[in-house]
């Protein structure tokens, strides 16, 4: 930033937030900041603690510890606790929560202060900005889902909140409406200049709307960054797989290199003998034709080709997905090809991996111990369960076993 350029003020700061329910820690040591005019998406799978985080910031739920600051004012710190209605935040949820007995105009005006003319002007301004001019006399039941969502947005923005909190606000909308509503919402939010924290479990939504993504897992933010950076430089295999399907090639690092059927990969920073996962997204696999049992020549960029046989191909409209059964170990790799590409099942083709588009991560702990997936873990645990159940059955304390040893 050039010298003398004013910094964008932070509107929202959450520090060291914890929330526990009994023995379960739902949010653990969470730190988050959102600047004025910035949209931050709190992204993660269901149950990771993102909605609980939003409720603690809103004041709907008390954290067990930590500090929340809104527009420079501490609203929660273990001693101070400002109630939700006094925090100056806008709230928007997936069910819209419109008052069915009030008109659109009265819904938007709800919570506004000032004289009648001032409130009417603000309502008219917002309805115009969300493309609902003339809808003021209508009631919510007369509106479509997309129109109700825009009324909810207008109502949340009416008091000019400094911070806007949105919990899965688009999840109830039809897919055909969703993109347009997102774009309208983003445009209005940017015009208002509020700091926005949007909770979602959809990577595409986060990529479309966010200036910054905070990826959450098991109650913690595991990675923060711009959509471009968080997609192209994921912290680990789980982060990469959250944004798209992935292919994984397992190998062992030796001398900062890992040899695979696709040639050698640079794996600096991994100890000799360490198992590593080489991750490649389907759209970055390169496909070439079989030449009487031979593939293309190896290259520095794409490595060594490996032969596979088409197991399945399907067309998705904007791209085709092709599953290959690989000759070297029988595993399945998936390639994404723009447009229509539907090779016949059983067709032999050659795959190559672009070295500049793959990621290398340490193998997961269970995988390092020899477990590569759910079936392996079940196979290792099931005999122990069978032995325990058999002992209990002899004592008359447990169920009989099926012939397969299942409970």
Quote the pLDDT of residue 3.
54
Q: Does residue 2 lie within any of the structural domains?
A: no
pLDDT of residue 192: 84
Q: Which residues span the domain enclosing 78?
A: 10-240
The one-digit pLDDT tens for each residue of the chain (407 residues) are: 455 545 678 999 999 999 999 999 999 999 999 999 999 999 999 999 999 999 999 999 999 999 999 999 999 998 999 999 899 898 888 777 889 999 999 999 988 888 999 999 999 999 998 889 999 999 999 998 888 988 988 998 899 888 999 998 888 777 777 888 888 888 888 888 889 999 999 999 999 999 999 999 999 999 999 999 999 999 999 999 999 999 999 999 999 999 999 999 999 999 999 999 999 999 999 999 999 999 999 999 999 999 999 999 999 999 999 999 999 999 999 999 999 999 999 999 999 999 999 999 999 764 443 333 323 333 333 344 344 444 444 444 443 333 333 32
pLDDT at 175: 73
Same domain, 278 and 195: no
Strand partners, 70: 12, 73
DSSP 359-406: EEEEPPHHHHTT--SHHHHHHHHHHHHHHHHHHHHHTTSSPPPPTT--
- pLDDT, residue 179, reads 81
- The domain total for the chain is 3
Is the pTM of the predicted complex or chain greater than 0.85?
Answer: no
> Which SS3 state, helix, strand or coil, does residue 229 take?
helix
pLDDT computed for residue 344 by the predictor: 96
Strand arrangement, sheet containing 10-21 = 24-35, 10-21, 65-70, 73-76
- Assess whether 201 and 341 both reside in one domain: no
Domain contains 4: no
Query: Do 255 and 358 belong to one domain?
Result: yes
Q: Is residue 341 part of a domain?
A: yes
CB 136 within 8 A of CB 127: yes
How far is 99 from 89, CA to CA, in rounded Å? 19
Q: 386 with 316, same domain?
A: no
What's the pLDDT score for residue 106? 93
CA distances to 54, 95, 122, 156, 163 from 92, in Å: 11, 9, 19, 7, 11
259 and 159 belong to one structural domain = no
What pLDDT does residue 4 have? Answer: 54
């Amino acid at each position: 930033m050039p010298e003398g350029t004013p910094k964008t003020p932070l509107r929202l700061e959450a520090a060291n937030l914890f929330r526990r329910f009994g023995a379960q820690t739902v949010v653990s040591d969470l730190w988050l900041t959102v600047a004025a005019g910035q949209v931050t998406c709190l992204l993660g799978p269901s149950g990771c603690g993102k909605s609980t985080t939003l409720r603690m910031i809103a004041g709907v739920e008390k954290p067990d510890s930590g500090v929340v600051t809104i527009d420079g004012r501490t609203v929660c710190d273990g001693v101070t606790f400002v109630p939700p209605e006094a925090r100056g935040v806008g709230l928007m949820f997936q069910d819209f929560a419109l008052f069915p007995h009030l008109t659109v105009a009265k819904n938007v005006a709800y919570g506004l202060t000032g004289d009648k003319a001032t409130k009417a002007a603000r309502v008219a301004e917002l309805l115009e900005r969300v493309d609902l001019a003339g809808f003021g006399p209508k009631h919510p039941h007369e509106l479509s889902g997309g129109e109700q969502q825009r009324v909810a947005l207008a109502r949340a923005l009416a008091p000019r909140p400094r911070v806007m909190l949105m919990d899965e606000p688009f999840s109830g909308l039809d897919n055909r409406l969703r993109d347009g509503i997102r774009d309208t919402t983003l445009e209005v939010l940017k015009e208002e200049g509020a700091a926005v924290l949007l909770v979602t479990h959809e990577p595409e939504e986060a990529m479309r709307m966010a200036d910054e993504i905070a990826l959450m897992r098991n109650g913690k933010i595991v990675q923060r960054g711009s959509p471009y950076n968080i997609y192209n430089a994921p912290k680990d295999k789980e982060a990469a797989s959250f944004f798209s399907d992935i292919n994984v090639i397992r190998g062992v690092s030796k001398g900062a290199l890992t040899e695979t059927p696709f040639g050698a990969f640079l794996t600096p920073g991994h100890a000799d003998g360490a198992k590593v996962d080489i991750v490649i997204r389907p759209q970055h696999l390169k496909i070439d034709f079989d030449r009487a049992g031979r593939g293309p020549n190896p290259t520095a960029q794409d490595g060594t080709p490996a032969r596979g046989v088409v197991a399945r191909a399907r067309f998705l409209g904007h791209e085709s997905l092709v599953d290959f059964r690989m000759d070297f170990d029988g595993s399945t790799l998936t390639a994404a090809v723009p447009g229509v590409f539907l090779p016949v099942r059983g067709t032999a083709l050659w795959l190559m991996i672009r070295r500049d588009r793959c990621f290398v991560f340490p193998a997961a702990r269970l995988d390092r111990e020899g477990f590569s997936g759910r079936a392996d873990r079940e196979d290792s645990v099931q005999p122990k369960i069978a032995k325990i159940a058999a002992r209990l059955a002899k004592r008359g304390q447990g169920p009989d076993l099926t012939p397969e040893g299942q409970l």
